[in-house]
Amino acid sequence: MKRMTIKVPKIDLEKLNKERYEKNSKNKNNLSYWFSMIKDCGFKVPETHIIPINFELFKWLTSDNYSDEMIDRFNDFIISELKKNNFNTERTLFLKTGTFSDKFTFKNCKLTDINRIGYQFLQIFYSGILVGANNTNELVVREFIKSDPHIKTIYDGMPLNTEFRVFYDFDKDEVMGVFNYWDRKTMIDSLGEYAISEKKVEEFKNFRDTIPVIEKEFEDCKDFVVKEVEEKMKNVDLNGQWSIDLMKIGNDFYLIDMAMAKDSYYYDKIIKQTGKINRTKDFTGLTENIKNLITELDMTENEFLKILDHLTVSDIDKLSYDHGDIFRERDIESLFDYMYSDSSEENVNNNKIYTEEEMRAILEKSGYIIPMDNGGLYFIYRKI
């Protein structure tokens, strides 16, 4: 096929960034939102300090353009914020953004040298962008909860502690389900690939050796955990359905993470297991295009949005997407590359320079991009 060149029009990144930033501050999954509600509920929590990211810093973090000097300044800023708040930095710390830890590269979120805090935060933030978790304006510094040193690790240092994911409905004050965070089948499926591609066979063995212990502990404790959650969440002032992650360390249970249920892994199991969640067919706010697509795929709106939240531009063989409000020039370029390789020649004219409007119209027509009523855009890559 003949190679064609396309000039991609400038996109108003400042405006897109601003919209993204404003949306992020309303995200209920932000640690600042739920942590203040549960920190005194009775479960142990790690000592935690949250540093808000202002818009200038946000733009820099998402800029993909990091000089050593700027990283040093970022580092100094974080350290001074911690000092100002008397947060003890003379210990191992756990780092994450308001929603994302990059735990699959655990050496990024475990901090043993305070002078690397800026660099490691940048790594986490950048990984977050790549997996579509650029949905927060917060940096979170926590006390690192120590595990028994005999516990084996995966993902470059993450201890294989027994962890419980409890789904809780704050409107009905009841537990909807509890899952072993380390689900054997899920893990074997994903870890197998990871172990091979990343040459981490040792980690696969660690998992294999530890999972029987975890499964036993999970079964032994899960009724107790459910009772504890019901007892302690009764008076917490949150609404809706959430996942609550508890990590067992010795005889203690630490509440380490929460997220809205619909955004949490294993939520699909809740749907299957309890049937308590209606397959909502209320597609308010979605365009006809999206509604038709969802119906065609026989999915609920939540399932569909969840897919959009988990796939990235590289998953082009599956249904794949990128949020319009974070799309960048290189995404558009890769989209066009993909279209060429798919010989959708009728959609592109030789050397034509498109305006943004024209380009959107082409993409919309081809079914690659679908506008939402709220002004956002989704790219949908489909083999045609």
Q: Helices (DSSP H) in the chain: which residue ranges?
A: 13-25, 31-38, 55-61, 68-84, 106-109, 117-130, 184-197, 201-233, 267-274, 288-297, 301-310, 329-341, 356-366
Q: Which of residues 252-281 bind Mg ion (CB under 5 A)?
A: 257
Q: In this structure, how many other beta carbons lie within 10 angstroms of the beta carbon of residue 81?
A: 16
The answer to whether 100 contacts ligand ADP (rule: CB under 6 A) is: yes
Instruction: Pick one of Mg ion, ligand ADP, none as the site partner of residue 21 (Cβ within 5 to 8 A by kind).
Output: none
Minimum distance from residue 95 beta carbon to Mg ion (Å): 13
Minimum distance from residue 246 beta carbon to ligand ADP (Å): 10
Instruction: Pick one of ligand ADP, Mg ion, none as the site partner of residue 363 (Cβ within 5 to 8 A by kind).
Output: none
**Closer residue to ligand ADP, CB minimum distance, 228 or 257:** 257
C-alpha distance from residue 272 to each of 269, 277, 382 (Å) = 5, 9, 28
The answer to whether 145 contacts ligand ADP (rule: CB under 6 A) is: yes
The answer to whether 102 contacts Mg ion (rule: CB under 5 A) is: no
Give kind and range of the element (H or E) at residue 379.
Answer: strand 377-379
Residue 111's contacts (CB-CB under 8 Å, 6 or more residues apart) are 92, 93, 94, 95, 117, 120, 144
**Closer residue to Mg ion, CB minimum distance, 32 or 289:** 32
Piece in contact with Mg ion (CB under 5 A), picked from 117-125, 136-144, 249-257, 282-290: 249-257
The answer to whether 247 contacts ligand ADP (rule: CB under 6 A) is: yes
Determine the 3-state secondary structure of 143 from DSSP.
strand
For residue 336, what are its two tokens?
A: 């066009």
Q: Up-side HSE of residue 319: CA atoms within 13 Å toward CB? A: 17
Binding residues for ligand ADP, total number by CB under 6 A: 17
Site track 186-225 with ligand ADP (rule: CB under 6 A), x = hit = ----------------------------------------
Q: Distance between CA 203 and CA 216 in Å, rounded?
A: 20
Site track 60-99 with ligand ADP (rule: CB under 6 A), x = hit = ----------------------------------x-x---
Residues binding Mg ion (CB under 5 A): 257
